[in-house]
Amino acid sequence: MLKVNALILGKSGSGKSSLLNYLWGAKIADVAAGRPVTPESDSSSQGIYPYPPVILDELQLVIHDSWGMEANKAEKWKDLIKKESQKCDSSNKISNWIHTIIYCVSAKGARIEDFELDSIISPLIADGNRILFVLTKADIASENEKVSLRNILTSQFPHQSGIIEVSSHSQLLRSGKRTEAFGREEMLEAILSNLRQNLIEKIPTQLLRRAREGTATLRREAIAYYNKEAGFTRTYPAVLSEVGALVQNDSSKLVININLWVEQALKDAAEIYHLVGMQFSPNNFSKNDNKTFSGAAFLTQSNISWKAEDYIANTLFHLVPGINILFMFAKKEMHRNMLIEKLDEGINSFENDIVKIAQQIHSKLGEVLALPAPT
Rounded (10°) angle between helices 236-280 and 184-229: 170
Q: According to DSSP H, which parts of the chain are helical?
A: 16-33, 74-89, 114-115, 122-126, 143-156, 184-229, 236-280, 295-301, 312-317, 320-326, 332-368
Q: Are residues 144 and 212 in the same domain?
A: no
- pLDDT, residue 6, reads 95
Range of the domain at 38: 2-182
- pLDDT, residue 170, reads 76
Q: Kindly state whether residue 120 falls inside one of the protein's structural domains.
A: yes
- pLDDT, residue 179, reads 74
Q: Kindly state whether residue 26 falls inside one of the protein's structural domains.
A: yes
The structural domain count of the chain equals 2
Q: What are the tens digits of pLDDT across the range 4-31?
A: 999 999 988 888 888 988 888 766 655 4
pTM for this model (two decimals): 0.85
Q: What are the tens digits of pLDDT across the range 361-371?
A: 898 888 888 87
Q: Are residues 314 and 350 in the same domain?
A: yes
Q: Are residues 211 and 173 in the same domain?
A: no
* Contact status, residue 214 vs residue 257, Cβ threshold 8 Å: yes
Residues 6+ apart with CB under 8 A from 347: 215, 218, 219, 311, 312
- pLDDT, residue 319, reads 42
Q: Kindly state whether residue 315 falls inside one of the protein's structural domains.
A: yes
- pLDDT, residue 306, reads 62
Amino acid in the structure at residue 61 = L
The closest of 55, 82, 96 to 265, measured between CA atoms, is 96
Q: What are the tens digits of pLDDT across the range 239-273?
A: 878 888 888 888 888 888 888 898 899 989 999 99
Hey, CA dihedral for 346, 350, 356, 358, is it positive or negative?
A: negative
Q: Kindly state whether residue 193 falls inside one of the protein's structural domains.
A: no
Q: Are residues 142 and 222 in the same domain?
A: no
Q: Kindly state whether residue 72 falls inside one of the protein's structural domains.
A: yes
Q: What are the tens digits of pLDDT across the range 143-163?
A: 999 999 999 999 999 888 789
* Contact status, residue 200 vs residue 100, Cβ threshold 8 Å: no
* Contact status, residue 98 vs residue 88, Cβ threshold 8 Å: yes
Q: Are residues 141 and 211 in the same domain?
A: no
Q: Are residues 159 and 234 in the same domain?
A: no
* Contact status, residue 148 vs residue 154, Cβ threshold 8 Å: no
Q: Kindly state whether residue 131 falls inside one of the protein's structural domains.
A: yes
Q: Are residues 54 and 126 in the same domain?
A: yes
Q: Where is average pLDDT lowest: 228-237, 269-278, 317-326?
A: 317-326
- The last residue of one of the domains, among 150, 182, 214, is 182
Q: Are residues 171 and 269 in the same domain?
A: no
How many Å apart are CA 95 and CA 267, to the nearest integer?
Answer: 11
- The last residue of one of the domains, among 151, 182, 213, is 182
How many Å apart are CA 13 and CA 15, to the nearest integer?
Answer: 5
How many Å apart are CA 93 and CA 88, to the nearest integer?
Answer: 9
Q: Kindly state whether residue 125 falls inside one of the protein's structural domains.
A: yes
Is 65 strand, coil or helix?
strand
Q: Kindly state whether residue 323 falls inside one of the protein's structural domains.
A: yes
Average pLDDT score over the chain: 82
> Which of 7-21, 62-76, 181-195, 341-355 tops mean pLDDT?
181-195
Q: Are residues 164 and 285 in the same domain?
A: no
A 10 A CB-CB count for 71 gives 12
Q: Give first-to-last CA distance, the chain, whole Å.
A: 28
